[in-house]
Amino acid sequence: MTIKLYNTKTRQKEVFKPIVDGKASMYVCGPTVYERAHLGNARPVLVFDMLYRLLRHEYGAENVKYVRNFTDVDDKINARAAQTGRPISEITDETIGWFLDDMGALGALEPTDMPRATEYIAPMIAMIEDLIAKGHAYAAEGHVLFKVRSYKDYGKLSGRSVDDMIAGARVEVAPYKEDPMDFVLWKPSSDDLPGWDSPWGRGRPGWHIECSAMAYELLGAAFDIHGGGNDLTFPHHENEIAQSKCAGHDFANVWMHNEMLQVEGKKMSKSLGNFFTVRDLLDQGVPGEVIRFVMLSTHYRKPMDWTEKKRDEAEKTLGDWVKATDGVVPSLPDKGVVAAISDDLNTAGAITRLHELSKSGDKATLKASIHFLGIDIDKFAKEQSILSSIEEGLKTAPIVEALEIELKKARLEKNFARADEIRDGFKNAGLTITYDSDGGITFKREANFDPTKLEALK
Ligand code: AMP
Ligand code: ZN
C-alpha cells in the first residue's frame, strides 16, 4: 500500500519511497535520562511506534531499522547527581529502566537499536575532527564550535534565516565564539564532571553531535526518516542537519515532527500543578491501553489535549471492544484501517473505521485491526477484570467500611456537617460517592484514587 508522510523539510505530504527498495530506516531523538517520562514524552514514542508498526507491516519486521537514542550525558543529569549525591550511572540506568517499563506499558515496541550517547564518544570525536578539517568548526579555549554561517542551508528545515534566528533565540554569547549563532560540539569538563580525553583536552560532547554521530554509525550516511517532537525542530534538528551535511552525509530524507501535548487545554507544567508522569497515571489505575488510545485519537500534527473526559470515553470504547472481540481469533487488519494509517498516520480516521467495524464488521478483522494500532485488547480485558475485583473489595477495606458506617449514621442523625466532611474526604481521596434511593452508598474510583488520604478523616 502507498504510504504518504508529511515532510517538515518540504512542507508537504509525500509518497514515501525508501532509499533501499523494500527496507526502511528511521532515527528518533530519545529522552535525556534523569527523571521519569512525563505524559508529553510519551507522545513521540507512541507516534513513531505507530509509524514503526506501519513500516513493519509494509516491509516486514526484519526490513525495518529503528534507532532511538538515550541521552545519558547532559548537564541536567550532572545537576541531578550533584543534588542527590548519587552516581550518574545509577541515575541514568534507573531512568532508562523506568522509561522502557513505562513505554512498554503503553504498548510501544522497543526500537531495533537504543544507543546510549556515552557509548559513542569516539565516533563523535571523529566527526568533530572531520568538521574542523573541512573548515566547518573551530577549537577555542577547550571548546569546539560549529560555524553556523559556513553552512548555507542553515535554517531551511524550520524556514528561518540565520538573522531571524539570532533575533529570536536565546543564543549564548561567549568570548570563545566567533559568532553568537555558533553552537557547541565539544566542551571542557572540570574534574568533578564526566569527561573523555580528546584532542581539545578532557571534555564532553554537546547535545546535537550525539544524534548526528549515532545516526551515522547505526544507519549510515543516508537514511529514510528522522523524527521527534516539534520543539526539537530548532535548534536541535537544524544543528543535526548542519553537522551531518557538512560532514558529507546525505542524512535524513523525511523529517517528521509531532505537536505537543497539553492537559485540559493548558501547557503541562510543574508550576501549573497539572504535570504528571506516565507512571502516575498507571499507578492511578489508568490502563496503558487507555493512554495509548487517547494519544492516538488526535492526529500527531495537531496539539493533543489530555482530558479526563477523553480518558473515560476511551475506557468505555475499549470496554465495548472487549465484549465484541472476546474469544475471537484475530485475522488480518482491515484495509481501511491500514489505509488511514498509511495516509500520514491518520490515527483518528483509523479509530473511526474501528467504530464502524465494531458495529457491523467481522470480529476477527476488528480484533486484528485493534492489534495493528498496538492495542492489546486481551491484556486490557484482563486488567479490567482485576480492577473491578479490587473495586468490589474496596467497600470491605476496613477504613472505607468504618467511614461508610459513620457517614450513614451522620446522615440519619442529620449531622450534615460531619456527613459533608466525610463525603469531601472521600472525594479528596479519589472516591466519588452517590447516595442511592434505598439509603445505600455507591463509590466510584477516580483517577486520583489514594486511600491513604482517608486516614485523616478518622
Ligand atoms: P526531552 O527529554 O525533553 O528532550 O524530550 C524527549 C522527547 O519528548 C522529545 O522528542 C520532545 O520533543 C518530546 N516532548 C517533550 N515535551 C513534550 C510535550 N509536552 N508534548 C509532546 N512531546 C513532548
Ligand atoms: Zn536528536
Instruction: Please indicate, yes or no, whether residues 416 and 306 belong to a single structural domain of this protein.
Output: no
Cell (9 digits) for 428: 479528596
Instruction: Please indicate, yes or no, whether residues 54 and 119 belong to a single structural domain of this protein.
Output: yes
Instruction: Give the end of a domain, one of 352, 380, 408.
Output: 380
**Cα(289)–Cα(363) distance, integer angstroms:** 19
Cell (9 digits) for 94: 534507573
Identify the pLDDT of residue 453.
Answer: 79
User: 208 C-alpha to center of ligand 2: Å?
Assistant: 6
Instruction: Please indicate, yes or no, whether residues 298 and 441 belong to a single structural domain of this protein.
Output: no
Instruction: Please indicate, yes or no, whether residues 245 and 101 belong to a single structural domain of this protein.
Output: yes
Pocket flag, ligand 1, residue 228 (CB < 6 Å): yes
**Assigned domain for 80 exists:** yes
Instruction: Please indicate, yes or no, whether residues 347 and 412 belong to a single structural domain of this protein.
Output: no
For atom 9 of ligand 1, the residue with the nearest CA is 229
Pocket flag, ligand 1, residue 43 (CB < 6 Å): yes
**Cα(383)–Cα(379) distance, integer angstroms:** 6
Assign residue 118 the CATH number of its domain: 3.40.50.620
**Residues of the chain scoring pLDDT < 70:** 168-170, 386-396, 447
**Assigned domain for 275 exists:** no
Identify the pLDDT of residue 173.
Answer: 77
Mutate to test the pocket of ligand 1, among 33, 96, 231, 237 (most ligand atoms within 8 A of CB): 231
Pocket flag, ligand 1, residue 227 (CB < 6 Å): no
User: 303 C-alpha to center of ligand 1: Å?
Assistant: 13
User: 164 C-alpha to center of ligand 2: Å?
Assistant: 23
| Ligand closest to CA 237 | 2
Instruction: Please indicate, yes or no, whether residues 213 and 247 belong to a single structural domain of this protein.
Output: yes
**Assigned domain for 306 exists:** yes
Backbone torsion region of residue 201, taken as left when φ is above 0, otherwise alpha when ψ lies between -120 and 50, otherwise beta: left
Identify the pLDDT of residue 195.
Answer: 97
Mutate to test the pocket of ligand 1, among 27, 41, 68 (most ligand atoms within 8 A of CB): 41
Full domain range(s) for residue 345: 285-380
Nearest ligand 1 atom to alpha carbon 268: 19
User: 31 C-alpha to center of ligand 2: Å?
Assistant: 9
**Assigned domain for 427 exists:** yes
Nearest ligand 1 atom to alpha carbon 231: 12
User: 232 C-alpha to center of ligand 2: Å?
Assistant: 8
Instruction: Determine the number of helices (DSSP H) and then strands (DSSP E) in the chain.
Output: 16, 15
Instruction: Please indicate, yes or no, whether residues 300 and 363 belong to a single structural domain of this protein.
Output: yes
Nearest ligand 1 atom to alpha carbon 30: 6
User: 138 C-alpha to center of ligand 2: Å?
Assistant: 22
- The number of folded domains in the chain is 3
Helix ranges restricted to H, 229-376: 238-246, 278-283, 288-296, 308-325, 335-342, 347-360, 363-372
Pocket flag, ligand 1, residue 236 (CB < 6 Å): no
| Ligand closest to CA 30 | 1
Nearest ligand 1 atom to alpha carbon 267: 19
**Assigned domain for 449 exists:** yes
Instruction: Give the end of a domain, one of 261, 294, 326.
Output: 261
Instruction: Please indicate, yes or no, whether residues 77 and 167 belong to a single structural domain of this protein.
Output: yes
User: 124 C-alpha to center of ligand 2: Å?
Assistant: 13
**Assigned domain for 266 exists:** no
Identify the pLDDT of residue 353.
Answer: 98
**Assigned domain for 179 exists:** yes
Instruction: Please indicate, yes or no, whether residues 184 and 250 belong to a single structural domain of this protein.
Output: yes
Pocket flag, ligand 1, residue 140 (CB < 6 Å): no
| Ligand closest to CA 229 | 1
Q: Which has the closest alpha carbon to 105: 333, 264, 277, 346?
A: 277
| Ligand closest to CA 117 | 2
Cell 569527561 locates to: 195
**Assigned domain for 271 exists:** no
Instruction: Please indicate, yes or no, whether residues 419 and 375 belong to a single structural domain of this protein.
Output: no
Instruction: Give the end of a domain, one of 245, 261, 277.
Output: 261
Instruction: Please indicate, yes or no, whether residues 374 and 419 belong to a single structural domain of this protein.
Output: no
Question: Residue 15 burial by CB count (10 A; 0-12/13-18/19+): exposed, middle or buried?
Answer: exposed
Question: Residue 274 burial by CB count (10 A; 0-12/13-18/19+): exposed, middle or buried?
Answer: middle
Instruction: Please indicate, yes or no, whether residues 175 and 65 belong to a single structural domain of this protein.
Output: yes
Is 300 strand, coil or helix?
coil
